[in-house]
Amino acid sequence: MTPRRRLAGLARVRAATLATLFASFGAVAVPPDATDAGPAVPVLEEGATPTAHATLEDRDFGVRSRGFGLDRQVEMYQWRATANGYETVWNSALIDSSGFDEAHRNPPMPLDTARWWAKDATLAGYPVDVEVLRALGEWRTFRPGFSRLPLNMAATFQPDGDGLGSAENPLHPQVGDLRIRWRELVLPPLQGRVAFRDGAWRLRRSAAPGTRPPGGATAATIDAANPSPPPEPAAWNWSWALVGLAALVVLLLLRWRRKR
């Protein structure tokens, strides 16, 4: 190889090495979700919906739901005092009959109302705080299947409307009879109603039902006091810098050997 060609080859190597070095310094900023700096703040897309992963279950009756909450409502047929005596009503709480005459005493309620909340709800892959469910969720009555109804409950209850009842004749219940209904929790679109803080989606105070901005402040003012955290600063990718440095060392060695 002639000296001229050797010099041209070395010039090309030097140019390629410098280009690699400059490119490495121009590409060291990487997204925060690809470094140890932590994940970036997620952005909700239009129409993004939350997901409940686990199945909620009322084990007493084998009722299951994939909603964000499961609610069991229990009512008992009871005596209630009126201005003209007594009447019978369905009531979800035990009516105190300690002051009633003996013939109109209510029995104790054998079963309580109960409620279960989804603890694994996510939105865009991140947890949803349970307060979001409590504040924004909507309860809707649903008719469950009773294929998992335990035998002891099946001996006491029968289908009644959207739920179960213990009355032998649902049209003529007796004092002490029970009727049970179930509801499941659904969530409306959450875009604009939640903010990402401390690794989870949390309720914006301006989105809470019945919340009014203090001192005439607007909803935007309140949300500004609790903004989503900014993305973590980009990290330097030192591996690319080391590659460029190694290439520069190789170039210097080649030049040193050529001079010898």
List beta partners, residue 182.
Answer: 72
The Cα–Cα gap between 11 and 18 comes to 11
116 near 183, Cβ under 8 Å?
Answer: no
User: Mean of the pLDDT values across residues 188-213?
Assistant: 79
Read off the pLDDT of residues 221-238 as tens digits, 9 standing for 90 and up: 334 444 444 444 444 455
pLDDT in tens, 127-184: 999 999 999 999 999 999 899 999 999 999 999 999 999 999 999 999 999 999 999 9
Per-chain mean pLDDT for the chain: 79
State the average pLDDT over residues 206-220: 46
Model pTM?
0.63
Lookup result for tokens 């991140």: 126
- pLDDT tens-digit readout, 73-116: 999 999 999 999 999 999 999 999 999 999 999 999 999 999 99
How far is the C-alpha of 179 from the C-alpha of 160, rounded, in Å?
8
Dig out the tokens for 55 from the structure: 């199945």
